[in-house]
C-alpha cells in the first residue's frame, strides 16, 4: 500500500495558538484515497527545519504534503525552501498574479506589491488555483512520487485539495487500496462496561478495531481495505451494543436529532440556564433547523424563569434553581410558550464557583417533555466551565435522541 506524509509548518501550531485541523482533514481524505498518512510532523518557520522535514519525507513516502508558510510576509519561507530542496528556480507566473489581483479586486482593495511574491512558482511545478485566498497551491511529481504544498488557512487548503489535488491523486493512483471505515457511536455506557460487553469480541486480522472514548460517550471504529470483512464485523458488534448505539459513521448528535424530528414531523423548543444558549446553537448550526426548531429561552436569571417560563417562586425558594423540580417547570414553560411537541431544559452549576457539598460544580439538571411525557434527570460532569457546558448540551441532545429512538409516534 502506498503511504503519505504530512508536514505542517508554522510557529503558531507549535505555540499551541492554532489547532491543526488541516492534518485531521488530510488524514481522512488520504485514507479514503488509499494513501493513508503514515507520518506527520510539525516544524517551525525555519529553513533548516523545513529542509530536514522535506528530505526525511520525500525519501520515504509516495505522497508528501506541506501546509503553511505560503503567505507574502517575511516569515513565510516555505516556498523558497521547497524550491531549494528540489533544486528549482522561482519564476514569475502571470496567471497566478492575475488571480491574486482578482481576489483583491473582489474585496474592493488595491493589490499590495508585497503579494507579487505569491506569483513566484518553482519551475516545473504546477500552480493550483486558490479561489479562497491569494496563495496558490503547488504540485510536483517525480515518477511515482507526488508533492503538494498548500496554504495553512483551512478553508483555502480544503478547497484546493478537493477541487484540484484530489482529482490528481485519484487519476494517478486510483482507489484500489481505499481504507474503509465504519463507526458505531454509543452513549450511556462507560468504556470499561462496554469492554466487558465485548470481552469475547475478536475481529479478524484484516480488520482494525479502535476504541475512541470521548466525554460522555464512546465510539467503536472498524477500518481496513476488505469491505466485506469490515461490514460483517460491524454488524456483529452492533448486534451486541445496539441498546447504547445512537448513530453511525459521520453522524453527529444534531444530525441524528434533525433526522428523527423531521421524519416524525416534530418540533423542538429549548429552555437553558447554565448552558447559556449552547443547546440552541448546536441545533441551529445545522442547515434546515427551521424545519425542526421553533425557538427557545435563555433564562439565566431567576426572574426570567418566573416571568417568561412560569417557574413558580415557591419552587425556586424550596428546591433552588438547580433542581429537577425547576428543570421540569422550565421545560413545561418553554413547551407551552412555543407550542412545541418536544422540549429540553438545562439548569446547573458550570463553575468555577457556586458549588456546594450538596450541589457541586458540574451538577446539571435536565428536563424533557415529549408530548404528554415529562421527566427529569441529574448528572454531574467533570472539567472546567467550558467542558461542563459543552458536555451538558450534548448530554441533553443524546438523552432525547435515545428516548425518541425507542418510541413510535
Q: How far is CA 406 from the centre of its chain?
A: 27
pLDDT for position 216: 83
Write out the CATH class of domain 4-173: alpha beta
Closest CA to 76 of 133, 145, 123, 142: 133
Q: How confident is the model at residue 213, as a pLDDT?
A: 92
- What is the structure's pLDDT at 162? 98
CA distance 361 to 381: 8
C-alpha cell at 236: 456483529
Q: What is the per-residue pLDDT for 409?
A: 46
Q: Structural domain boundaries of the chain?
A: 4-173, 180-248, 253-405
By the 8 A CB rule, do 397 and 253 touch? yes
Question: Can you tell me the distance from the alpha carbon of 284 to that of 69, in angstroms, rounded to the nearest whole number?
Answer: 35
Q: Global pTM?
A: 0.81
Q: Does 3.30.70.2860 match the CATH number of domain 180-248?
A: yes
10-residue stretch averages of pLDDT, the chain, 409 residues long: 95 94 96 94 97 98 97 94 98 96 93 94 97 96 97 97 97 83 94 93 93 91 93 96 95 97 97 98 97 98 98 98 98 98 98 95 98 95 95 97 81
For 185-216, b where at least 16 C-beta lie within 10 A, e where not — what string?
Answer: bbbbbeeeebeebbeeeebeeebebeeeeeeb
In the DSSP assignment, the letter for residue 89 is -
Helix axes 253-264, 385-405, angle to 10 degrees: 30
Contact at 8 Å (CB) between 99 and 93?
no
CATH of 253-405, one of 3.90.950.20, 3.90.199.10, 3.10.129.10, 2.130.10.30: 3.90.950.20
* Residue 133 DSSP symbol: S
pLDDT in tens, 158-199: 999 999 999 999 999 986 678 899 999 999 999 999 999 999
Sole residue written with cell 415529549: 370
SS3 47: helix
- Position 323 scores a pLDDT of 98
In whole angstroms, what is the distance from residue 178 CA to residue 198 CA? Answer: 28
Phi and psi at residue 209, to the nearest 5°: -125, 125
pLDDT of residue 176: 66
Identify the pLDDT of residue 408: 56
Do residues 363 and 380 touch, judged by C-beta distance below 8 A? yes
Amino acid at each position: 500500500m502506498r503511504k503519505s506524509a504530512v508536514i505542517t509548518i508554522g510557529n503558531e501550531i507549535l505555540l499551541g495558538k492554532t489547532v491543526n485541523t488541516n492534518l485531521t482533514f488530510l488524514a481522512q481524505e488520504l485514507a479514503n484515497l488509499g494513501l493513508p498518512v503514515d507520518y506527520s510532523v510539525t516544524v517551525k518557520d525555519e529553513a533548516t527545519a523545513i529542509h530536514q522535514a522535506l528530505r526525511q519525507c520525500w525519501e520515504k513516502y509516495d505522497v508528501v504534503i506541506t501546509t503553511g508558510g505560503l503567505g507574502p510576509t517575511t516569515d513565510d519561507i516555505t516556498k523558497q525552501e521547497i524550491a531549494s530542496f528540489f533544486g528549482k528556480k522561482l519564476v514569475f507566473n502571470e496567471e497566478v498574479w492575475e488571480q491574486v489581483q482578482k481576489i483583491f479586486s473582489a474585496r474592493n482593495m488595491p493589490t499590495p506589491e508585497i503579494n507579487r511574491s505569491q506569483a513566484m512558482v518553482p519551475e516545473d511545478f504546477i500552480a493550483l488555483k486558490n479561489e479562497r485566498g491569494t496563495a496558490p497551491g503547488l504540485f510536483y511529481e517525480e515518477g511515482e512520487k507526488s508533492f503538494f504544498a498548500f496554504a495553512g488557512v483551512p478553508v483555502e487548503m480544503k478547497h484546493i485539495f478537493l477541487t484540484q489535488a484530489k482529482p490528481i491523486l485519484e487519476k494517478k493512483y486510483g482507489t484500489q487500496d481505499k481504507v474503509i471505515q465504519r463507526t458505531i457511536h454509543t452513549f450511556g455506557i462507560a468504556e470499561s462496561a462496554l469492554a466487558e460487553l465485548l470481552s469475547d469480541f475478536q475481529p479478524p486480522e484484516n480488520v482494525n478495531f479502535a476504541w475512541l472514548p470521548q466525554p460522555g460517550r464512546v465510539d467503536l471504529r472498524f477500518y481496513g481495505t476488505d469491505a466485506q470483512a469490515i461490514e460483517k464485523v460491524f454488524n456483529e458488534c452492533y448486534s451486541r451494543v445496539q441498546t447504547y448505539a445512537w448513530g453511525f459513521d459521520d453522524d453527529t448528535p444534531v444530525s441524528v436529532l434533525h433526522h428523527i424530528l423531521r421524519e416524525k414531523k416534530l418540533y423542538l423548543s429549548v429552555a437553558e440556564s447554565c448552558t447559556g444558549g449552547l443547546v440552541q446553537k448546536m441545533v441551529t448550526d445545522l442547515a434546515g433547523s427551521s424545519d425542526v426548531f421553533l425557538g427557545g429561552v435563555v433564562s439565566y436569571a431567576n426572574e426570567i424563569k418566573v416571568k417568561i417560563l412560569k417557574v413558580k417562586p415557591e419552587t425556586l425558594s424550596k428546591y433552588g434553581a438547580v433542581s429537577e423540580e425547576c428543570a421540569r417547570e422550565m421545560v413545561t414553560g418553554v413547551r407551552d410558550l412555543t407550542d412545541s411537541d418536544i422540549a429540553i431544559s438545562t439548569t446547573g452549576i458550570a463553575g468555577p464557583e457556586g458549588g456546594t457539598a450538596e450541589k457541586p460544580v458540574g451538577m446539571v439538571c435536565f428536563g424533557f417533555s415529549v408530548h404528554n411525557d415529562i421527566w427529569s434527570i441529574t448528572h454531574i460532569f467533570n472539567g472546567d466551565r467550558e467542558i461542563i457546558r459543552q458536555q451538558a448540551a450534548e448530554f441533553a441532545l443524546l438523552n432525547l435522541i435515545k428516548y425518541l429512538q425507542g418510541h413510535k409516534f
